[in-house]
Amino acid sequence: METTLETLKTNPIIQDFIRERVKFPHKFPTAIHPDDEMYLFSLKNLNGDKQAACIRYYGLGQRIFDAVKQIVEWQFQNFDNVSSFLDFACGYGRFSRYLLQELSPQQIWVSDISAQAVKFQTEEFNVRGIVSTNYPKDYPGEGKFDCILAASFFSHVPKNTFGDWVEKLYSLLSPQGILIFSVHDLTLLPADVAEKSEGFYFVPESENKTLDKQLYGTTYVSEAFVSQVLTEKLGAAVTYYRIEKGLCRHQDIYIAVKHPVQEFSSLNFSHHPEGGVETCQITTDGKINLAGWALDLNQDSQVEQIQIIVNGKLVQSCIPSGLGNKNTNLRSLWTCYLKTDTIRLDDVLIVKAINSRKLERVLAANKLAAMCC
């Protein structure tokens, strides 16, 4: 049977992956729109492997959600104290499908310049939708939100609308609200280009093939530029905080808060562990040898455990050798052995790393036969 986005819904590998990643798998909407550019971008990078692209798509959505969850819990203690959430520049719901694990559809608003993307989410997820506009002055100003997320939006807008969009979104916050947005830092550019940029660099190109490139390209900014924009647009009293590479270890996260309930120093933001599976082989004495590497990039933290899950059940775990953390900048190595009588070639196997902060990262998800080939 041909692998399609429809058949992937019942794919046992996808089902096991979701079961491992969310609290309420039965509430998780699996549908991916065929025009979803985030999915198509992964599909292209993975040479057309739809299953792998789907897993990467879900995995990135979960990492974004975990980052946002830490910030929400810092300001509100938990999602129970959040009455409304706006996912701005939402696309087709890579993030918002995870938000449904914590909030009801009636508490979630999604907004995007693509009316098709908004329609998809309102129909599939039953959330509320707002079609966005090219310019912030035209954006609907109704409603106030406890939390607004603009992930990978300010990493694409030109200088003439950057500050106005910050001001518009901030104006939509409730008194206790927080604005979370991400940017490409200038350090992602070659040093000579960054040096000449004067804090802002815009390229009229992006993965989006439908929007005006002058309105939606690829943007790189310095912290000084962001700070200046926040001060000019929101006032000198604005409280903000930067998390370097907080979004999937790539984009910086900025948090702007009207009335923080505590100091930013108490946030203690944590990154997911990193790692990979480099060996999967059946030995001559009838054992399955799995080996790879792991690394934790949090201060005073390390990868504590590698878990092997077969058909939804934990069957083996191991402790990586070495520290493998930010302090040493070295990878830990790990090796796990399984008996062949505990797993069949067509069983679904998931390998995940867990760090000292209890954040998890799936390193591999596939049938054993595919992993050992």
Mark whether 196 and 306 lie in a shared domain.
no
Asked whether residue 2 carries a pLDDT value surpassing 60, the answer given is no
Do 294 and 213 belong to one domain? no
Residue 69 and residue 169 in one domain: yes
Q: 14 and 98, same structural domain?
A: yes
Distance of alpha carbon 6 from alpha carbon 119, whole angstroms = 19
* For range 355-365, the mean pLDDT: 96
pLDDT of residue 1: 45
Q: Are residues 218 and 298 in the same domain?
A: no
Residue 365 has pLDDT above 70, yes or no: yes
Q: What is the pLDDT of residue 373?
A: 73
pLDDT digits (tens, 9 = 90+) for 77-119: 999 999 999 999 999 999 999 999 999 999 999 999 999 999 9
The pLDDT confidence band at residue 292, using thresholds 50, 70 and 90, is very high
Q: Which residues pair with 271 in a beta bridge?
A: none
Residues 260 and 283 in one domain: no
| 8 A C-beta contact, residue 256 and residue 179 | yes
- What CATH number should be reported for the domain holding residue 74? 3.40.50.150
Confidence at residue 133, expressed as pLDDT on a 0 to 100 scale: 97
Does 17 lie in the same domain as 146? Answer: yes
Residues 152-208 pLDDT 10s: 999 999 999 999 999 999 999 999 999 999 999 999 999 999 999 999 999 998 877
Of the residues 206, 232, 266, which one is the last residue of a structural domain?
A: 266
Confidence bin at 323 (pLDDT 50/70/90):
low
Distances (CA, A) of 215 to 92, 236, 254, 282: 20, 28, 22, 53
pLDDT given for residue 324 in this prediction: 58
pLDDT digits (tens, 9 = 90+) for 30-66: 999 999 999 999 999 999 999 999 999 999 999 999 9
Average pLDDT over residues 282-310: 92
Q: What share of the chain has pLDDT > 70, as a percent? A: 97
CATH number of residue 316's parent domain:
2.60.40
| pLDDT tens digit sequence for 244-277 | 999 999 999 999 998 888 899 999 999 999 999 9
Same domain, 262 and 278: no
Which H, E and C letters describe the chain, residue by residue? CCCCCCHHHHCHHHHHHHHHHCCCHHHCCCCCCCCCHHHHHHHHHCCCCHHHHHHHHHHHHHHHHHHHHHHHHHHHCCHHHCCCEEEECCCCCCCHHHHCCCCCHHHEEEEECCHHHHHHHHHHCCCEEEECCCCHHHCCCCCCEEEEEECCCCCCCCHHHHHHHHHHHHHCEEEEEEEEEEEEEHHHCCHHHHHHCCCEEEECCCCCCCCCCCCCCEEEECHHHHHHHHHHHHCCCCEEEEEEEEECCCEEEEEEECCCCCCHHHCCCCCCCEEEEEEEEECCCCEEEEEEEEEECCCCCCEEEEEEEECCEEEEEECCECCCECCCCCCEEEEEEEEHHHCCCCCEEEEEEEECCCCEEEEEEEEHHHHHC
The residue among 266, 290, 325 that closes a domain is 266
| Domain that includes residue 296, residue range | 274-372
